Chain A
């Protein structure tokens, strides 16, 4: 696989049974990258995890009033930048207000955004038209 341009677009219903599919796509992409010199197994796990967490987040914030609501996931690799965008149609949330986990007194929730922030290089959540977009960037060099 040539790293110069890879573009994958997936649209799924807002159901958690599709998390494996989305995560697996990230894992496969990591394993096929030609020029990645880091720990490929770790990158594969991290992309699986980040895509899983981002998709769960979108499902959680989805518009449950609409049974036909969907989550769109776009994965784009251009040269050494891997860009993930996850689109939801819900009310959105304030990414900046999500606190770090309390490591001394860990709670059941709140680790998903921590994983995305820790394992990737940039995370933003913005409103674009009728969607919210969680945009995640990982530099592969």
Chain B
């Protein structure tokens, strides 16, 4: 079991091949921390906010940074996608898959929305039943062929198109330090330098500016739903809390020991503090949801909180960027 589905899946696939890495380590090496707010793309009528990169990239980055050979495939034909999964399972090869959660029959019902970026591992098959290792579940789950097919070919925003990924071979040794450095550099780049107002820290600023206008622009009900979506994504199952900030802080702490660099531990503490700020933003938002007529002021307040988070995180990532360059 792990916090984030893709970390969990990547970790479990690596473990199968004898590579033991903690979830924070996978998250950090895979540059899993990101921020994306895109009012032009909507899911169920609400702008997309995301605290993670697109599904599949953590696996790709971690394996490539450790020199592990993998295969990633998408399919047009549903039957072929299932057949190729069967062939892998027959050979005893576990296969990661991107799925939609709406048709994931064993998933907690309250979380079964049309959300298409969940990761699971197929670990076996008996007749028409597949055995699934799902990072958010506590035991191996079962799913019927027809349901698995449906989830692998879920429709709507970000279609998984049967996406499947597995490990082909692992090297005898790998350089974890260089992988950590690459992972951190990539995250700093993502958060600090994308010249686009909807990604990284720029997106935090854009979101802050928009939040302030929501009650006027959208009305009471919709403004709450928009803000609710941000909090849901921030605390989505698998974030480990506070939009992955605590998970990333845990990574920096572990990296500090491996790299023998106390600065990273200090930045880890700052990252924990940033996570606490996100939590406070969540609490303030929660008060808005509860209030029948919250008015405009609390939106200005949470907007200010977001601006403050952006300011703090800018200091953290600039500091991190400087530190990693000296490693």
Chain B associates with chain A: no
Binding site for B on A (CB under 8 A): none
Binding site for A on B (CB under 8 A): none
